[in-house]
Amino acid sequence: MTVLYFVFAALALGILVFIHELGHYFVAKRMGMIVETFGIGFGRPILKWRWQNVDWQLGWLPFGGFVKIAGMEFGKKEKENYKEPHEIPNGFFAKAPWRRICVAAAGPLANFIVAFLIFVTIWAIGGREKSFTDFTQIIGWVDPQSELYSLGVRPGDVLTDYNGKPFTSSKDLLYASMLGGKDVTLSGYHVDYGTDQKTPFSYTIESYPAPSSIEGILTTGISSGARYLIYDRFNGTPNSLPDGSPMESSGIAYGDQIIWADGEVLFSMDQLSYLLNNDKTLLTVKRGDTIFLSRQPRLLASDLTLPSYVQNELIDWQYEVDLKGRVQDLRVVPYVVSSEGYVETPLKFIDKESQLQAFPLHAYSPSLEKPLEPGDRILAVDGVAVSKGYEILEHIQSHQVQLMVKGGVPVDAQTSWVEEDKEFQQNLDYVAIEELASKVGIAQADRSSGDLRLLNPVTPKSINQFVLSTEAQERIKEEFAKQKSEIEGIRDQEKRTQALNYLDSYHDRLMLGITLQDRLVEYNPSPFYMFGSIFTETWLTLKALVMGYLHPKWISGPIGIVQVIHHGWQLGVSEALFWIAAISINLGFLNLLPIPVLDGGYICLALWEQITRRPLKAKTMERLIIPFVVMLIGLLVLLTFQDLSRLF
């Protein structure tokens, strides 16, 4: 089927080119011009025929095409008498400028009409199934190092506008940071899911290089929209856990959505990854008559100033539970804890930097990460009940994650994208989630409530701890080496160091060893909206290229375009039709650029002649057009090379 989809993709691109040239052909005939040749594809013709006094041919390379109109070869010899293009009867340049403009514009216009008709078809058959995260206004993750984070924006908040424009999709964030100028204004509202209180905000922040990018991609700090984290089959096929997955004994089942981890309601994979890797422990704490959850830093004892009596007690506890190694290498919480598990006093840090890492100025969750107070008693560590100080020390040495799931959540599209944000928020029954979460670490407490249940504690692993085939290990090593090599090519030392640190931390990150899916929504805006959005995206992409924000290696050539359509066919007819329409708009848009050899260039030449009232000579046009022909061929070769590099 893959080969068949590829054939369909190549055929679709060929049809778009044919329609484009057909637009030129019909209007040229209408304007009384002599059409000499109609060609689809380039290279040596593999098929030729003559019909209606026109030579038709099919080239062996089915990318591109042309309509050759009399006089467009910039000069013609007849009986040894040289003629300028405008002197050739019924030739392209012999006609009035407005007629030439009509002919040149007809090709792009044909592409636009076809694209719009395809969008009408998509709309009529019910639209497409898209991931919830692509179009949600709910924020999925905010970079903890960003200005937006310091202003209090967190996952679960809602983004409604950027730079005065309505926020409609995840692409808007990229356009806002890359093309919105130095400062970006983001508006929306903070959401308190416990009280359902919404507080409006509007912040003007400066975009900055994304931590994960080595190509200079800018970000506002919001890296993703909210998404569902559902464990289910893939189109009816099994979604097996890999050997050694931490989730094997967790009790997770198909249809479960992970909605809570270590005290936090979840809104994205990035948030879940952060909680797995932030090196904090979830404590169940009793203060007076109140029992609550608290997330505290797990620190090396060497990061703290330990009084001699505390150090001696740690040595005794270490011996009690048979922990190997030096006492300085033990993991501890930054408090003096009694043998009965009571917090006595905070411990001092070796330096200010260590303290800021443990207790940053802007806590991720201010209510959950408040420092403990003297008299608090630790009842459980990562969901495991404890009663003695040495038990607390033992369980702090490793991090077990507490997860809560909601059962029976379908992956398939059930709701329109217009209503899905409301359903996502209603799906998070915050009161019920908090009630069940309060039972973490409480002996004999129920671990389920309605369709919510707590999974068995999970110990995440790094990629090196999984059971992988030799081939998989080699692929990971090769990819890591390739990324490291690209980063080492960055000239800016500070950026290079930052990127290398990010790569190392990403490579060593802890994972659950499970594939989670987002929920699909029924996405079906009007044909006018789809046409306008693709046209705008094409313009913004071109603008980013010209301004240097977008690297040319991200642009696809003919082979890349076929790959995109091929991928669309694999996802379904609607998706394939959408990408065919999008490429049709791109084809029409790019041909209207005011570059000699393109349709827009011929329109400019006609306008110049209309203004000056003097036809251009063949030599002048050759000097204008031939260099751009060479450049266009060079660009086509470069893009094809990039496509092949990505393919192999």
Report the distance separating Cα 499 and Cα 484, nearest Å.
9
**Which of 350, 376, 394 is the endpoint of a domain?**
394
Q: Is 488 a catalytic residue?
A: no
- The model's confidence at residue 50, banded by pLDDT at 50, 70 and 90, is confident
Write the DSSP string, 500-564.
HHHHHHHHT-EE-----BPPEEEE---HHHHHHHHHHHHHHHHHHHHHTSS-GGGS--HHHHHHH
> Considering just the CA atoms, what is the radius of gyration of the chain in Å?
32
Q: Does residue 641 sit within a domain? A: yes
Tokens representing residue 411 in the block: 């992956």
Q: Which of 22-36, 123-137, 321-335, 571-585 has the lowest mean pLDDT?
A: 571-585
The pLDDT of residue 613 is 83
pTM passes above 0.75: yes
Provide the mean pLDDT of the chain.
84
Specify the higher pLDDT residue, 490 or 350. 350
Report the distance separating Cα 159 and Cα 138, nearest Å.
6
**Is there a contact between 404 and 437 (Cβ–Cβ < 8 Å)?**
yes
Q: Tell me how many domains the chain contains.
A: 2
For 458-499, how does the pLDDT look when each residue is reduced to its tens digit (9 = 90+)? 999 988 888 777 777 778 788 877 877 777 777 777 677 777
| pLDDT over 90 (residue 136) | yes
Q: Does residue 19 sit within a domain? A: yes
Q: Does residue 120 sit within a domain? A: yes
Q: Does residue 36 sit within a domain? A: yes
The pLDDT of residue 384 is 92
Q: Does residue 581 sit within a domain? A: yes
Q: What is the mean pLDDT of residues 429-441?
A: 92
**Which of 348, 363, 394 is the endpoint of a domain?**
394
Q: Does residue 514 sit within a domain? A: no
- The model's confidence at residue 558, banded by pLDDT at 50, 70 and 90, is low
Q: For residue 302, give its domain range.
A: 297-394
Q: Does residue 47 sit within a domain? A: yes
| pLDDT over 90 (residue 334) | yes
**Which of 394, 414, 441 is the endpoint of a domain?**
394
Q: What is the mean pLDDT of residues 164-176?
A: 82
For 190-241, how does the pLDDT look when each residue is reduced to its tens digit (9 = 90+)? 999 888 899 999 999 888 877 766 566 778 889 889 999 999 998 888 888 8
- The model's confidence at residue 516, banded by pLDDT at 50, 70 and 90, is very high
Q: What is the mean pLDDT of residues 592-618?
A: 85
| pLDDT over 80 (residue 389) | yes
Report the distance separating Cα 587 and Cα 447, nearest Å.
57
| pLDDT over 80 (residue 12) | no
| pLDDT over 70 (residue 548) | no
Report the distance separating Cα 54 and Cα 42, nearest Å.
18
Q: Does residue 88 sit within a domain? A: yes
Residues 6+ apart with CB under 8 A from 561: 13, 583
Residues 6+ apart with CB under 8 A from 435: 449
The pLDDT of residue 368 is 92
The pLDDT of residue 388 is 94
Residues 6+ apart with CB under 8 A from 647: 559, 563
